[in-house]
Amino acid sequence: MKLLIRLSILALAAVGAHTLFERLRPRVSGATGSGNVVSETLTPAVREAASTVRDASTQAAHDVADATRQAAGDLAAELEDAVTGSNPSPPASSGPTA
């Protein structure tokens, strides 16, 4: 008796799976046809995104280089002013002399 119940449940599951397959099969075949459209539009979009990222990273690298050059120039000017302007003679030693 248990075997008959299990077999009937298995048969109902098979019928349900077949019914779902029949209902969803038109959608699946339609979706596989649109895969070509997606690949045709995806490739140019990826190329355009890569180009945009490449351009942005190049611009960022140039901005960083310019900022570094500016900071180095400012630091050099400040060091030059500090050396020449505020302390023209070397400091006197404050330690004991023998």
Q: What are phi and psi of 32, to 5 degrees?
A: -70, -30
User: What does the alpha-carbon distance between residue 75 and residue 72 come to, in Å, rounded to a whole number?
Assistant: 5
Phi-psi region of 93 (alpha: psi -120 to 50; beta: other; left: phi over 0): beta
pLDDT attached to residue 14: 92
Which of 59-63, 84-88, 94-98 has the weakest average pLDDT?
A: 94-98
pLDDT one-digit tens code per residue, 18-60? 888 888 777 655 555 555 666 777 888 888 889 899 999 999 9
Residue 13, pLDDT score: 92
Question: Domain segments of the chain: what residues?
Answer: 2-29+42-80
DSSP code for 93: P
pTM (whole model) above 0.75: no
